[in-house]
Chains A and B, each alone.
Chain A
Amino acid sequence: MSEKYAVLPCNGLDKCAGQVAREIAQIVCENTENELICPVFYRVSDARYDKIAKENPLLVIDGCATRCASKLAGEKGLKIFRKVTVTEEAQKRGAPLAVAPLRLGAAELALGAELAAELVKAEADDASVDSGVVYPVPEEYIIHKKDKFIFRVPPEGFYFTENDCWVQPVGNRARIGITDFMQQSLSDIMFVTPPTVGATIDQFDEAGTLESGKAVFELVSPVSGKITAVNIPVLNAPELINENPYEKGWIAEIELTNFAEEQEFLLDAAGYLKVLKKKADEYHVGKKQG
């Protein structure tokens, strides 16, 4: 999913479950980039939280079955991405909170910490999982050698742009990334700015940037569509792109909107290989002259 969620807890101060909801929200926000929404303030002021709430997936934490936080989300016209109800979770664990005191004891804090950890993990899973689509890993690569460089091109299943980006469509989804040639031209990639999940882009629009010591490269999206996931591991470890830009080094997943037509403007492996050879020749000639 995206890099951050908006977290809306019930924050019920007169019930233990509400206190636990608040505790969970705080732990989750401390351990992620998520933004906390204060339900009390949100009720009286749309302006403060509307942008955060509408632009990010919403995580709702209700204390009890009164579901004040869910109801607030409903009133504000927000779509809930994930929710948890503390009393239900406590029940599942055989430790109902009904008679628990307002002040949180060790047991309540432990429950809060456990539920928060689950939510943080679920979020990490959202980020790395891409709709369950299985993208075949190339069994072999076409190799183009130029001096000491070896450039890989997957022989099938991928389409390319002349801007050294690729798309791997599977059904109505696709992954996008940069080619081995571009990866080597950039050298060690140090920073990746992914496209925004949920954003709709046109064919050849920018879909994030990659920064190395040499340059900032815009990923030119080979296809149009809606970004459905970004590859979170490469944000933390951009070297995955240098290692293999077609496999673990993919950048984003996109929901295709018009692939049949757009495919005409893309190159297959043989077509890209020609472009690559020419670029490799020019690049090296340029280097010698420069």
Chain B
Amino acid sequence: MSQPLVEVRNLRRSFGAIEAVRGLDFDIEPGQTVGFIGANGAGKTTAMRIMATLDAPDSGSVRIGGYDTLNHPREVRQLIGWMPDAYGTYSDTTVLEYLDFYARAYGFGAAQRRQRVDAVMEFANLGPLADRAMNQLSKGMAQRLCLGRTLLHDPRLLILDEPAAGLDPKARIEFKQLVRRLAGEGKTFFISSHILSELGEICDSLLFIDQGRIVHHGSADHLLNPASREAVVEVRLLEAPGALIQWIAARPGVTLVETIPCGARLRLEAGGPEALSALLRALIRDGFGVCEFRREGRKLEDAFVEMLAGGSSSTEPPAPPVL
């Protein structure tokens, strides 16, 4: 296994009597896209700000690319791109001037600066907006511009705090596509968001934080379809569902949820892939004309709420989760 790009160890941060972050431990491997999920006030932004060298922990450490964020903040800043939840705009400044200024601020010389600005504008499709004043941009355009600004110095790790907040569906799709393209190019992402379904689509792993502690880590798929969890299946037949209802009543581990036209919704106590496969095979073997067999999806939001309700008191993981 390669050296983790991010190593967070026993991170703690308090504001007066409020413990915002209480012993976070996790690693992020290079090239991963990791979602950071938690309710408002769970400690997401505090943890991200410490990672971005903008705040200092009370104890614990963060190493990025092998550099400690406290001892080597300048080296860390070269490795990261930080996109806060509320990004500012400058009055009397055009899109091109904004990017040009940040490219200067990152220390690029004239030729290299033009090259970087052009590349970023092309990537984020900002070309048509080059001469437009920043305060005339829509939220989606401004978000693309901010992502472009984050990419100017070609960072290895992008830390995005609520990047999709306030975007309309079209802008969200565009933004998601940009993230996917960058992830495909090998960039590492650490993204917090409240739009959990989108995080599930673009992230390799999810970190759930509650009251300053990590309460779950793993892939979205694992969270949505745990092997031990029961499943609800919708079965549609070519014929009337009367025989199916009798069949269900005689079959252990399967219960009827409701009948629907030409079918029924069934609950399987064991909802793993093997059990589902066995159920479908049994239906066909017993002569039912199955024309549709679909496991009902579970929303990430539901999983999140269920987990907070039942898992917030769970103990800290014994070892740092490697995502």
Answer yes or no: are A and B bound together in one complex.
no
